[in-house]
Structure 1
Amino acid sequence: MTNSNPTTTPWGISGSTLKIIALVTMLTDHIGAAIIEPVLIQKAERMHIQWGSYSDLILIDKTLGTAYIAMRYIGRIAFPIFCFLLVEGFLHTRNVRRYAFRLFLFALISEIPFDLAFHHQLFCMDYQNVFFTLFIGLLVITALQAVMIHMTEHISFRILFCLISIFSGMYFASLLNTDYGAMGVLTILLIYIFRNNRLHAAAAACLCLIAMNTIEATSLLCIPLITHYNGKRGLQLKYVFYAFYPVHLLILYCIYQLLF
């Protein structure tokens, strides 16, 4: 596969800029899900309306319903960018084990804030936060790289172990019911496979997500952002990203408590 992207360019979007865009769109999505959706549900109960589609939300409250729909669609941009940054981090990290440990640690740290924000309880095993998806995806591409490096003379075994790694990762993401689940892991895998062509990587990731749910159609807006990535790190925001996730979820839960 030929590399259609230079490692670095003097223009374009840095990694930190991509990260900020992903954080802002994720925050927008989570405000809609954690704050506005409960308000709409409460209004629907008062009006004795059962809503099953976005069009029903307009009947409940035109302004809030429209804002909620817009926020959820904007939020679809975030996940493929996070997946792209994960693969970039994997390709350039000096210590994959430390990278994986960091993801797993913050998956554990973020679980209570995640459950509080979206389930309003300390522990909920029904649905796990996105850090678990990213962690599993990282394990899968790490395994694939190891197989490709160390099993060069055994093509049949290489294919077998690659398939085992991929389906194991997707299975565990589905079993744990992580955010984006098996398709989230597959999204990370596709970006890794097409890592030498950012356009193909971003398009494949978006198509995978759209196949999961048509609401993910707005994830296509991430394609020009990813293709204009200049290969530079930009601002040092590594720990800001990790801390932002659990902190903003706790803040959203506090706002929810004040409102309700």
Structure 2
Amino acid sequence: MNIEAKTGKRGLTTFDLKVLGIVFMFIDHIYEMFSIMGAPEWLDWFGRPVATLFFFISVEGFTHTRNKEQYLKRLWLGFLIMNIGNYLVQYFFSVGNLGLVNNIFSDLFVAVLSMYGIELITEGYKTKKYGTLFKGILCILSPLLLSAIILLAMTNGSMSILMIGYVLPSTILSENSIMVYLATLLYLFRKNRVLQCIAIAVVGALYAGVNVTALFTTNTQWMMVLAIIPIALYNGQKGKGMKQFFYIFYPAHIWILYIIASLIYTHFY
């Protein structure tokens, strides 16, 4: 069942999904930066569907982009710039013990790299080009292998090796860790919106099952299932262009919120 083909131009465009994700993300980050000063916990609920929504958008972006390598390069540069900016902001400002570890570019890079790997494996298998097939396997495995190296370094206390995680995205250091591969499932099911929504629902149910008694307190990630609503309404249209806006807005709003929170906390708490 291809809902995209049936919905025509009615519903939400990619632009609409991005705006929705950005608004919810902004509210969530207000909670993150100001929770130490009493920001209500329910603000955090807005952020739970955001990663899932951006995973879906990344599938659409990867599927329709003309230059997939350039797409990956942009995400890697965003990841690198975000890490440098996080370090510099925390060097001059602080909000209690709140560490600035936000970097959705890491998640998106790992997710899109897995999509690229699947595409290369498919191409290599069809054309009998085993070099292409091997490259695809490497694309999928490299973030996991890097995660193993980082985990081993942490276990052995080799902290200098951890620096590689600030230059190359890994699964273990991604904001959503292993959940980034939900994006891979969404890519595999890209031609069937119903299966995409089922995949999201199943992952959300797994999160809910971790601690059923704390579904509205400490265990709120299950709320990611709410991303199903806008995704189901997606009409397959691009809408207005905002190609570079997210790359600028994402780091800028996090750094600005952190700096404002630091100034308020330092002077009034």
Quick check: TM above 0.5?
A: yes
Residue identity opposite 2:183 in structure 1: I
Q: What do residues 138-185 of structure 1 show as CA deviations (whole Å, max 9, x unaligned)?
A: 11110111111121377xx9999877654543454684411101222x
Task: Report the aligned-residue RMSD.
Answer: 3.1
Q: State the number of aligned residues.
A: 227
- SS where residue 238 of structure 1 aligns? coil
1:202 to 1:249, Cα distance in 2 relative to 1, 3 A: same
Please give the per-residue CA displacement for 1:94-153, whole angstroms capped at 9, x wherever unaligned.
Answer: 001111111111111222444547x949xx999561101111111111011111112137
Q: 1:199 aligns with which of 178, 181, 194?
A: 194
The CA deviation at 1:197 is 1.3
The correspondence for 2:108, drawn from 134, 159, 175, is 134
Residue type at the aligned position of 1:39? M
User: CA separation in 2, counterparts of 1:114 and 1:211?
Assistant: 31
- Match of 1:244, SS state, is helix
In structure 1, stretches of 5+ residues that fail to align are 41-63
Deviation of 1:233 after TM superposition, in Å, equals: 1.0
TM-score (norm 1): 0.75
Structure 2 CA distance, aligned partners of 1:158 and 1:21?
37
Give TM-score scaled by structure 2 length.
0.73
Alignment of 1:109-258 (within 5 A): 109-114=81-86, 116=89, 120=94, 127=101, 129-152=103-126, 165-172=139-146, 175=150, 176=165, 177-184=173-180, 186-208=181-203, 211-212=206-207, 214-258=219-263
Alignment of 1:23-62 (within 5 A): 23-36=22-35, 38-40=36-38
Residues 174-213 of structure 1: per-residue CA shift (max 9 Å, x gap): 84411101222x1111111111112321331353355356
- Tell me if the contact between 1:29 and 1:71 (Cα under 8 Å) persists in the aligned partners: yes
Q: Is the 8 A contact 1:113 1:249 kept in 2?
A: no
1-structure distance, mates of 2:83, 2:262: 18
- Alpha-carbon displacement from aligned partner over 1:208-254 (angstroms, at most 9, x marks no partner): 35535642221111112001111111111111111110110121022
Whichever residue aligns with residue 218 of structure 1, its letter is: M
For residue 5 of structure 1, what is the amino acid of its counterpart? E
Question: Structure 2: how far apart are the matches of 1:162 and 1:256?
Answer: 43
Per-residue CA distance 1:20-76 (angstroms, 9 max, x = gap):
00001111111101122x224xxxxxxxxxxxxxxxxxxxxxxx4xx22x1111111
Q: Contact (CA 8 Å) 1:7, 1:231: kept in 2 or not?
A: no
Contact 1:140 1:166 in 2 (8 A): yes
> Any idea what SS the aligned residue of 1:12 has?
coil
Q: Is the contact made by 2:119 and 2:136 (CA closer than 8 Å) also made in structure 1?
A: no
1:86 aligns with 58
User: Is 2:73 aligned against 1:74?
Assistant: no
Kept after mapping to 2: 8 A contact 1:73/1:215: yes
Identity %: 28
